[in-house]
Structure 1
Amino acid sequence: MTTLTSPSPTTSAAPVAGPPALFRDLIASEWIKMRSLRSTPWTIALTILFVIGSSAVATLADNATHSGPADFLAYDAYPPAGYWTLILVAGSVGALTAVSEYSSGLIRPTTVAVPARGVVVLAKATVTTALWTTVGTVISTGSFLVSQAILSGRQAEVPLTHPGVFRALVASALLAPVCALIGLSLGVLLRHSAATMVTGVFTLLMLPPMFSESDRWSADINHAMVSASWKRLVQNWEPDPGSLGYTATVSGSWIVYALWPLITLALAVLVVRRRDV
């Protein structure tokens, strides 16, 4: 008679834990996710063309009013119409980087594979920063070169060594990653497409014009906004000390640039560690 024997504990199959995911593996994974979205390259390409094109149009339309070295950066090379679009697109794409995973449910296998959710957010932020810094640099440099090429025909070009030009180049290049990181952080915090988009647009574009520089309290709120800081950094002239109102400082505008993505990203990491998926 054949007897059934239970398997020995020493021979039973035990789950084998794989090596923990390295941060560079997470970055590679996030890069694959981002480039797999078909809309991303088209959105970036159209944004580059539109913003640089807006600089060309603004320079061509400027007959003489803003063609001098004092203010061509703010009105010709970096016109608000084009860069408001850059703010909107960068913030929206940054938000979709996080929101799309929550809406599709992809965040669940991600957190199962990598339980350290804060590290996942930091990996997303790293890829987002690298991508949009590259995009911002291309747009900023292209806007300057296009406007310069047009102005050279009028003998009104401004060299790169002119005071304020390099600052405007860097500020305009960093505007894209700053807004993309804010959008990413809002996406992690809110996890809802419509709520994230509305909050991002309101914070980055609609809120700053509501506060003028005529009163100290209103000016302080205005100066704490990213778009207002960008306008000050590309401004190539110093305000008249005798004019009414309060003007932001260059150093204060750089601080705003740094604090917005750092604070929102820190909040996103803190919240995602404490809540369920």
Structure 2
Amino acid sequence: MTTVSLPTGAGTRLSRFTDVFAAEWIKLRSLRSTAWVLLCAFASAVTVGVLMANSEVGEWPRMSPAQRAGVDPLADPYLGFMVAQLIFATLGVLTVTGEYSSGLIRTTFTAVPGRRTVLAAKAAVITAVSVPVGAVTATTTFLIGQALFAQRHIGLSITDPGAVRSIVAATFYLVAVALVGAGLGVLLRHTAAAIGGLVALLFLAPQLIHGSAQWVIDIENALPGNAIRRLVSLHVEHGAPSMTHAFLVIAVYPAVALTAALVLIHRRDA
């Protein structure tokens, strides 16, 4: 990782946010792994989505009416986001833990004593990278998936209800999990531990927590994975949260993780 020295001339404010943001941007851009990680996220989301849609298109003539009714042409292409979410979250983790593991974080905090400014700049850089990549990933996934489903005349147009919402929600979700990763990176300061926590939250919990009891449904509706499924689906499952509730659930996780990180970052040694 490249060490970035901020100017120290007269009148220069080292903690000025724009300077710190520029430094963090250079750090992230200088890592070869950044481009590869983002490319893997894009490729996994699109590839899995294409395979899912293509499989359902191929099986369509042999499906019963009940099976056809269960096909969700809006949600099914987004299945690949189960992998992409972990990759985006890992990028957020590595943006923080990479400096802790290399010891560069001491240099960063020496150059910028305002640690919260550093964290805010890291979060801003992660957001600046995740938004365009997430938007391209979500849009490509939607368009290719719908082109495949159009062969069976069940594909959606970008103007159909829910289409734009799904793209916006999927982009928002990828940004949110990346920021959660950054927050956990500060809290745990260990790459494997942070990624393990993300796997449990984003992948395992939605797979394991199921039931008809109301308290189980409430837990399901509080998970980010369930929230994004609601936002990218045409079919609303029984007990599913409202769209507003789902957006709020996704927003709460990065807000809590980053708030906790802002509190603890000043209470620990680098």
- So what's the TM-score if we normalise by structure 1? 0.86
- Contact 1:165/1:236, CA 8 A, preserved across alignment: no
Question: 2:233 is aligned with what amino acid?
Answer: Q
161-170 or 256-265, which deviates more: 161-170
Structure 1 residue 237: Cα displacement: 2.3
Structure 2 residue aligned with 1:9 = none
Distance 2:27 2:56 in 1: 43
Distance 2:179 2:155 in 1: 34
Within a 5 Å distance, the mapping from 1:120-135 to structure 2 comes to 120-135=118-133
Structure 1 residue aligned with 2:164 = 166
Change in Cα spacing, 1:50 to 1:209, as seen in structure 2 (3 Å) is closer
Structure 1 residue 17: Cα displacement: 6.2
Change in Cα spacing, 1:161 to 1:227, as seen in structure 2 (3 Å) is same
State which structure, 1 or 2, has the greater radius of gyration over its C-alpha atoms.
1
Map Cα deviations across residues 110-132 of structure 1 (whole Å, 9 max, x no partner). Answer: 11111110110000000001111
Structure 1 residue aligned with 2:42 = 48
162-171 or 99-108, which deviates more: 162-171
Within a 5 Å distance, the mapping from 1:115-194 to structure 2 comes to 115-194=113-192
Structure 1 residue 50: Cα displacement: 2.1
Structure 2 residue aligned with 1:243 = none
Distance 1:72 1:199 in 2: 31
82-91 or 52-61, which deviates more: 52-61
The structure 2 residue matched to 1:20, chosen from 13, 18, 24, is 13
Within a 5 Å distance, the mapping from 1:28-39 to structure 2 comes to 28-39=22-33
- Contact 2:41/2:87, CA 8 A, preserved across alignment: yes
- Contact 1:135/1:176, CA 8 A, preserved across alignment: no
Structure 1 residue 187: Cα displacement: 0.3
Distance 1:172 1:228 in 2: 12
Aligned length: 255
Secondary structure at 2:154 match in 1: coil
Map Cα deviations across residues 133-182 of structure 1 (whole Å, 9 max, x no partner). Answer: 11110110000111122233333321122222221111111121111000
Query: Does residue 1:202 correspond to 2:203, yes or no?
Result: no
Change in Cα spacing, 1:40 to 1:263, as seen in structure 2 (3 Å) is same
- Contact 1:70/1:236, CA 8 A, preserved across alignment: no
Question: 2:256 is aligned with what amino acid?
Answer: I
Distance 2:206 2:150 in 1: 34
Could you list the runs of 4 or more consecutive aligned residues of structure 1 that deviate by over 4 angstroms after TM superposition? 15-18, 65-70
Structure 1 residue 70: Cα displacement: 7.4
Question: 2:245 is aligned with what amino acid?
Answer: G
Structure 1 residue aligned with 2:73 = 72
Map Cα deviations across residues 16-46 of structure 1 (whole Å, 9 max, x no partner). Answer: 8652122111111111111111111012112
Structure 1 residue 265: Cα displacement: 0.5
RMSD (CA atoms): 2.0
Structure 2: tracts of 5 or more residues without a match: 1-7
Structure 2 residue aligned with 1:62 = 56
Give the number of the structure whose residues are more often helix, by fraction. Answer: 2
